[in-house]
Amino acid sequence: MLIELGHSDGVKEIHMGKAIMQHLAKIAVEHTCSRIEWLTVKDKNLSKRFYDAIGATEASHMTIRRLQGPVLTRLASPE
């Protein structure tokens, strides 16, 4: 799992983040993938600016669902 790609405001980190995304895009194209999708935190404006700058758009048709804590344990337990 890659965490906070492009989140740093340092020039070196931004260039590294862009290079990683370019490499992932190359792999996706080579494997005839139609897209790359990932999760971001809505409140991270710096990350949003980074992803906007490389041309990424928000997938407004998607939402994150989560199971955790007692609900996760309950679902995992045999009835």
Number of domains in the chain: 1
Give the pLDDT score at 52: 92
Using alpha carbons only, how large is the chain's radius of gyration in Å?
17
Tens of pLDDT along 28-38?
999 999 999 98
3 in any annotated domain: no
In the numeric block, which tokens belong to residue 61?
């048709």
The answer to whether residue 20 sits within a structural domain is yes
Range of the domain at 32: 11-76
57-76: b (≥16 Cβ within 10 Å) or e: eeeeeeeeeeeeeeeeeeee
Q: Would the pLDDT of 23 be above 50?
A: yes
CATH number, domain with residue 27? 3.40.630.30
pTM attached to this predicted model = 0.70
Tell me if 4 is assigned to some domain: no
* The pair of three-digit structure tokens given for residue 76, joined into one six-digit string: 């995992």
Task: Calculate mean pLDDT across residues 44-51.
Answer: 86
- 33 located within any domain: yes
Q: For residue 27, how many other CB atoms are within 10 A of its CB? A: 11
Q: Is 15 within a domain?
A: yes
